[in-house]
Amino acid sequence: MHILHITRFAKWVDEQKCNFDYNKPFILTMGGTDVHVDLAEKGWNETTVNLVNQSTAVVCFSEEARKMVVEVNPDWEGKVKVVPQAVIPPKRTDQGSNKDEKFEILLPAGLRPIKDVLHLLDAWKDLDKQIPFLKVKVIGEPLDKDVEREVLAACDYYSFLEYHSTVPFDEMGNVYAEADVVINTSKEEGQSTALCEAMALGIPVIARNNAGNSELIKHGKTGYIYQYPSDFPELINRIRKNPLETKRMTERAQAYFQHERTVEQETTDYLSIFRGLNES
């Protein structure tokens, strides 16, 4: 058995009031929200601890997440594995040209506090004075009503800012094709699928400094990490004004996903874990 998202499954177990105890091996995969939000902020309850104790293996997306889990109980050291996520980049389906006068910053993120999607608002205001036809596009499911209200109010006030709710995966290729830069503003991040997809597609990325983003992006090599909002305009202008440097950076990011973060490698890693379960 393979259980995805330990905190969601633990919630289901509690709601069903069932004593989860299977006599077959099972593994758990812990996503970024599991590690950085649910467990880091709300703590480990008895059900989640019991699930990890009963599991044969636990998969995290990064070494940093693995360390956080092992810190809870050093006895779990041997069972917690790292399998980085691979991505299958969405393909463009329209035939239009994405290159016009505008400069577009794309922020794919669900609207909830941890994603902090307005973290760079002051920086965008500064850039709007520097870049003609600036567009900042936020795309993501409205998961928190208060955050949604704040974003919609900002969109009404600032002409450069627009928000779109959930976009189907098969349409995201067209969305990425319009972007000049893809960004991440999360307070904490496990492993951003949007950043991975953008890097695999050869789009420059800029991300907030947190453990997950810093593990994914090598600053100045495969993308940029910003520490403070005031750093962001400079990084945008480096991308705009240094096309050769930007091209080399995006090519390194693409090569990383083409050679080290392939679906084939991810599949091999999981099969190795499954075989280990069968042998145990």
Query: Do 56 and 137 belong together in one domain?
Result: no
Domain shared by 147 and 252, yes or no: yes
Q: Is 95 within the bounds of a domain?
A: no
Choice between 146 and 11, residue whose per-residue pLDDT is larger: 146
What's the mean pLDDT in 262-267? 92
User: Same structural domain for residues 107 and 184?
Assistant: yes
Total number of domains constituting the chain = 2
For the chain, give the percent of residues with pLDDT over 70. Answer: 95
| CATH number, position 163 | 3.40.50.2000
Q: Domain containing 29: what range? A: 2-86+262-279
Nearest alpha carbon to residue 225 among 244, 243, 249, 206: 206
CA-to-CA distance for 183 and 166, rounded, in angstroms? 17
On the question of pLDDT at 205 being above 90, the answer is yes
Same-domain status, 139 and 229: yes
Q: Are residues 125 and 182 in the same domain?
A: yes
Give the chain's mean pLDDT.
91
Residue 70 falls in which region: left (phi positive, over 0), alpha (psi -120 to 50) or beta = alpha
Q: Is residue 94 part of a domain?
A: no
189/225 same-domain check: yes
* Residue 186 to residue 195: CA distance in whole angstroms: 12
Domain contains 92? no
Asked whether residue 70 falls in the same domain as residue 203, the answer is: no
270 and 230, same structural domain? no
250 lies in the same domain as 269: no
Would you say residue 280 has pLDDT above 60? no
In a domain, 98, yes or no: no
Are residues 154 and 24 located together in one domain of the fold?
A: no
pLDDT at position 97 over 80? no
Question: Is the pLDDT score of 233 beyond 90?
Answer: yes
Q: Is 41 within the bounds of a domain?
A: yes
pLDDT of residue 85: 86
Contact between 226 and 195 (Cβ < 8 Å): no
> How many C-beta atoms surround the C-beta of residue 217 within 10 A?
24
Which has the minimum average pLDDT: 60-64, 112-116, 149-153? 60-64
pLDDT tens, residue by residue, 9-53: 888 888 887 766 667 788 999 887 788 777 777 778 888 898 999
Mean pLDDT along residues 65-72? 90
Model pLDDT for residues 239-256, shown as the tens digit of each residue: 999 999 999 999 999 999
- Residue 66 and residue 129 share a domain: no
The predicted pLDDT at position 279 comes to 64
Instruction: Give 278's pLDDT tier (boundaries 50, 70, 90).
Output: low
Asked whether the predicted pLDDT for residue 64 surpasses 90, the reply is no
* Domain-located, residue 91: no
- Helices within 58-168 (DSSP H only): 63-72, 121-130, 145-157
* pLDDT band of 98, cuts 50, 70, 90: low
